[in-house]
Chains A and B, each alone.
Chain A
Amino acid sequence: MSKDLSPKLSVENFPDHQVITQPNPLRKMIRRVAENDPDDPIARAEKALQELSSEFDGWMENECDRLASAHTAMEMNRGDTGTREELLRAAHDIKGSAATFGYPTAAVAAESLCRIIEHAPDFDQVPPELIAHHVNAIQAIVRENDRIDALGVSAQLSKKLRSVADEYLAHVNRDRPEHLEAILAPSIIPLD
């Protein structure tokens, strides 16, 4: 699989750095079209995603099962970094994908769980019930989505969990200013 990797580089030298420019190797991939060009690649992709969405409920359940398994393994092997990392990866994947799958409040609860795992100074000292409440809430939101979401319960549940987790993290990191700053910094993704 070969591609031309030898574009003509232009290098400007400065006392402590170089500025390197090359002719845009991807320029030939751009083409001009009429303003009224009916082809809309974004709309086409959104439609394809919509067609894929029939799979999302099943995928979300898979992600939940993975989270529950990771939680069980972590509880059985407290102190093992491998199980903790798998719990983080499972929660992190839900944080990143749940909104796409139609479960935005599960993403909020998963983000809260990720923050606990990432910012607790000693994960083994985190109250087990705080972790369990997050895992159970995510499962409830996904499994009972139609019933509890109609009542707005899932949003309230996620918000409450986040609030409790933030309070815990602020307390245990009170002497760790760099973590405190990261915990209190606003997310680049709006929560609501």
Chain B
Amino acid sequence: MYRIDFNKLRFLVCDDNAHMRRILRTLLHSFGAREVYEAEDGATALEMFTHYVPDIVITDWLMPIFDGLELAQMIRQPGGKGNPFAPIIMLTGHSEKRRVTVARDAGVTEFLAKPISAKGLYQRILNVVASPRPYIRTKNYFGPDRRRNTVNAYIGPERRNGGKAEVLQQPSLMDKAKVAG
């Protein structure tokens, strides 16, 4: 059995709602985390991301100034400051299927729909710590490999050419999002 040493992990939490930040802080500290930095909007989070170099970013989606989706895009931007490979967990009240797809295409690593639970959050963190995916760079995408299934029949416009499709067998972001916390 494996456990995460949370006391060695540095978190950046971004949520405009003070109550939700308090809940997240409580959960992370209870897991054993010592370093939890908090931002209440995307712009502040980006500054803190560069300054504190967190191991994991947990962000809300809907926020003033710029939102969690834009934050993810800025983090993944080539040439941006900070670590573009940092895992991003999108924790959001959005619960529509298309939102999961949009988040995935922005380079989000894991999607967790509110209401939050200790189990759901722990599992997402365990995933990014223990099972990181390769990163893919195309002309219009940079982020974790979006392939999680061996569906060779995919013929969509973003189908990648060349090379064997190496796929880590993992449930899709959508399937995981459906698992209640």
Residues of A within 8 A of B (CB): 1-3, 5, 12, 14-22, 24-26, 28-35, 37, 39, 41-42, 44-49, 52, 59, 62-63, 85, 88-89, 92-93, 95-100, 107, 111, 114, 182, 185-190
Take A1-B53, A48-B29 as given contacts and tell me if A15 and B161 are in contact as well, using a CB distance cutoff of 8 Å: yes
Residue contact B26 to A49, C-beta cutoff 8 Å? yes
Most chain-B Cβ atoms within 10 A of its Cβ — which of A15, A48, A182?
A48
Query: In the complex, A98 Cα to B55 Cα: how many Å?
Result: 29
Residue contact B177 to A188, C-beta cutoff 8 Å? yes
26 A-B contact pairs sorted by A residue (CB < 8 Å): A14-B162, A15-B162, A16-B139, A17-B136, A19-B135, A19-B145, A20-B134, A22-B85, A25-B55, A26-B55, A26-B128, A26-B129, A30-B130, A31-B2, A32-B1, A37-B3, A49-B27, A49-B118, A52-B22, A62-B19, A93-B93, A96-B17, A97-B114, A98-B115, A114-B93, A188-B96
Contact partner of B136 (CB less than 8 A), chosen from A18, A63, A189, is A18
- Is B171 in contact with chain A by the CB < 8 A criterion? no
Chain B min CB distance to A114 (Å): 8
Query: In the complex, A73 Cα to B126 Cα: how many Å?
Result: 43
The residues of B that contact A17 with a CB separation of less than 8 Å are 136-138, 160-162
Total chain B interface residues with beta-carbon distance under 8 A: 65
Query: In the complex, A27 Cα to B10 Cα: how many Å?
Result: 14
The residues of B that contact A97 with a CB separation of less than 8 Å are 17, 19-20, 23, 93, 114-115
Residue contact A41 to B6, C-beta cutoff 8 Å? yes
Nearest 8 interchain pairs by C-beta = A96-B93, A96-B114, A45-B118, A45-B30, A14-B162, A99-B115, A48-B30, A20-B135
In chain B, positions 105-124 with a C-beta closer than 8 Å to chain A are 113-116, 118-119, 121-122
Residue contact A189 to B113, C-beta cutoff 8 Å? yes
Q: A1-B52, A25-B55, A93-B20 known; 14 other A-B pairs, CB under 8 Å?
A: A17-B161, A25-B85, A26-B9, A30-B130, A31-B3, A37-B3, A45-B31, A46-B118, A88-B62, A89-B16, A97-B19, A99-B114, A187-B96, A188-B113
Chain A residue with Cβ nearest B6: A41
Query: In the complex, A106 Cα to B87 Cα: how many Å?
Result: 32
- Is B100 in contact with chain A by the CB < 8 A criterion? yes
Residues of B within 8 A of A (CB): 1-6, 8-10, 16-17, 19-20, 22-23, 26-27, 29-32, 51-53, 55, 62, 64, 83, 85, 87, 92-93, 95-98, 100, 113-116, 118-119, 121-122, 128-130, 132, 134-139, 145, 160-163, 166, 174, 177-178, 180
The residues of A that contact B52 with a CB separation of less than 8 Å are 1
The residues of A that contact B96 with a CB separation of less than 8 Å are 182, 185, 187-188
